[in-house]
Each structure stands twice: as C-alpha cells, then as structure tokens.
Amino acid sequence: MTDNIIEERRMLDDMFGLAGRVAIVTGASSGLGLGFARTLAGAGATVFAAARRLDRLNTLAAEVPGIVPVQCDITVDADRRSLVNRAVAEGGRIDVLVNNAGTPGPPNAEDETIDGFDAVLRVNLVAGFHLATYLVGSLPADARASIVNVSSVIGLVSTAPIGGASYAASKAGTLGLTRELAGQWGRRGVRVNAVVPGWFDTEMTDGLFTNDKSAGWVRRNTMLGRGGTDGEIDGAIVFLASDASSYMTGQTLVVDGGWTAR
C-alpha cells in the first residue's frame, strides 16, 4: 500500500469517523433507530441510545461497544432533560442528536381524535424540538454539533391510503422545523438537517411487506422496484453526523429508492 493511499484513507477516516464524539439517538430500541445507534457506535461514537424499552436497549449495549442504554419517554419533559443532562455529564458534551423516535396515527383522517392527533405530534415533532433546544443550551460558546431529524416520504407527498393526517403533519412539520433551526443556529456552529426514509420493513410498517397487495404497491411506485433493507439509510446518518457534511445545513436528504422522484 502506497503512502498516498494510506493518507487518503486517513482523510476518509477523519471525514466520516466519529471517534471521540458523543451522540444521542432516540427511538433506538428497534427499527431504523436501532440501526442508527449501531452504525454511529461503529463509526467510533459513544451513543446514548434512548427508548422506553430498556430491555431491548440493554441487549443492544451488550452486543455493541459504545452504546449507553437510557430508558426515556421523550414525551415526558423530565425524561428529555434527564437524557441530555446524562449525556453531558457522562460524555462531557453532545456532538450529535438524532431525533428518530416516532409513532403512527390512523390512516383515515375521520378516525383521528383530538387527543390522538396531539399525541402523534408530541412524539414526532414536539419532543425532538425540545431535545434540540436542550442540546443547544448545553453547548459551550465554541462548540459544534449536528442535529439530524428523521422525517418521512409521508412528509413530502401524499401516500394515501397509507400514512395518515397526524403522521403527515408531524413529518412535514419536521422539515420546516429543520430549516428554521438551521437558520437560527448556523452561526453558532450547530448544523440541522433532515433525513427522509422511504419504505423500510420496520415495526412501524408491520404488514406492509408481507401483504402481496401493499408490497406490490411499494415495488410499482419505487424506481428501484423494492423497499429499503437494513443499513441502506445508515450511511446517510453517518454522513450528516460527521465532518463529511460540515458545509451542509437546513437540508433534506431523501433515501427512498426514488419514490418521491416519480
């Protein structure tokens, strides 16, 4: 191996590596969030993996070095504050926040209740906003941080009959919030971007890929002719968390197999 190749690999490691960084990932007990936590830890970060299901987080921590399990209900403000405070106390600071936790609502608008609509927004939009403000409030004046908000193709286009009004509103709101926070905090060294996943086989899409009709709907309407598989969005998270995206903020990175490009 030549010296040039070695130097290029070092540059790539520096660009995409997260050694010494401290990250928070919400909704880390399953689905995409579990993959995000694994991948960030694999890139060298200490990851405070937060979710309500502590048993699953403990299993993840036993399998993956660098994972710190934190039981947290992000709709409870005391839990949100405790999560940020613990990451700062044990990690020294927070470099990365991935607002991933989410919950669906009913697919039909007429089935949405007032309380149910509010509950979806509290999880998918409001909690991430408060976590972001608490993170920024914890930063020293010269600190840098990256916030990654996880939205959805349902926040960009209608996916009726699958989706739902409360979920679509929360995920579209996430994109608007991303742009606004990026504008407010950019000069403070805080980058805020969003990732938009397409159709992945997770707990939230349970049944989508096992039903011939809905699985066929995904295949027909996705340019790559299939849904996403494990790990296919994780690289986008590492990119936005790392110095590889150091001149990127207020942006939406769509990872949907071409669903929204039709």
Active site residues: 167
Task: Give the whole-angstrom CA distance, residue 145 versus residue 147.
Answer: 7
CA 68 – CA 40 distance, rounded (Å)? 12
Nearest to 253 by CA among 198, 187, 200: 198
For tokens 């919950």, the residue is 103
| Cis-peptide into 161, omega within 30 deg | yes
What is the rounded distance in angstroms from the CA atom of residue 191 to the CA atom of residue 34?
Answer: 23
Q: What is the DSSP letter of 165?
A: H
User: By the 8 A CB rule, do 191 and 146 touch?
Assistant: yes
* 252, 254, 255, 258 alpha-carbon torsion, rounded to 10°: -170
CA 187/CA 185 separation, integer angstroms: 6
Q: Is the dihedral of CA 160, 174, 120, 227 positive or negative?
A: positive
Residues 81, 161: Cα–Cα separation, whole Å: 37
Query: In sequence order, which ranges of the chain are alpha helices (DSSP H)?
Result: 3-16, 31-42, 54-63, 77-91, 114-121, 127-138, 165-185, 212-221, 234-241
Query: Three-state SS for 148?
Result: strand
